[in-house]
Structure formats: C-alpha cells, structure tokens
Amino acid sequence: MYKKCPLCNKKCMDLEIYCTKCGVELVKDENRCSEEKTSMCFRREYKEDDIYCAYCGALTTYALEKKQKEEKEKHSQ
C-alpha cells in the first residue's frame, strides 16, 4: 500500500510515517483505478473491497497491490 501527504500529495512507501518534504503525517492513498485509461478513471475513488474499475475494467490499486503481494509470497516459497 502507498501513502500520500495530505498537504503536497507526494506518494510515499507504506512504512514511511511522515512526508520528507513537509513533515506532515502521511495518510493511506485512496483506492483508485490502477491504469487510469479514461478521463473518468482519474476522478473515481473506490471502496476498500472493490476490485475492478467501473470505467475501464482494470484492477483497483488495492486489488493490484494484493495480487502483487500474493504473487511475491508464492514465488518466495
């Protein structure tokens, strides 16, 4: 999962707690379309359990991160 700075919108890694530019505490990034293929994809935010984008069918960012984590765990076994 990624986090973002609520002040400057800088994206940061999950383990980071504060923005390196602003010093503001980071918040969890919204669940969005992972590919943003259409202009409608850019504005849409999804619930945590939503898997696919309603406009282009791509995975949401949370679903993509979950899939990547599962694949990484599978390959490490």
Question: What backbone phi and psi angles, to 5 degrees, belong to 2?
Answer: -105, 155
Q: Residue 14: its pLDDT value, please?
A: 81
Domain count, the chain: 2
Q: Would you write out the chain's pLDDT as a tens digit for each of its 77 residues?
A: 678 899 998 988 888 999 999 999 999 888 999 999 999 998 899 999 999 999 999 999 999 989 998 998 888 87
How much is the pLDDT for 28? 87
In a shared domain, residues 58 and 23: no
**What domain range includes position 46?**
31-77
Q: Which of 77, 75, 76, 46 is nearest to 63 (CA)?
A: 46
pLDDT of 50 reads 96
Residues 40, 25: one domain? no
Residue 41 and residue 67 in one domain: yes
What is the reported pLDDT for 29? Answer: 84
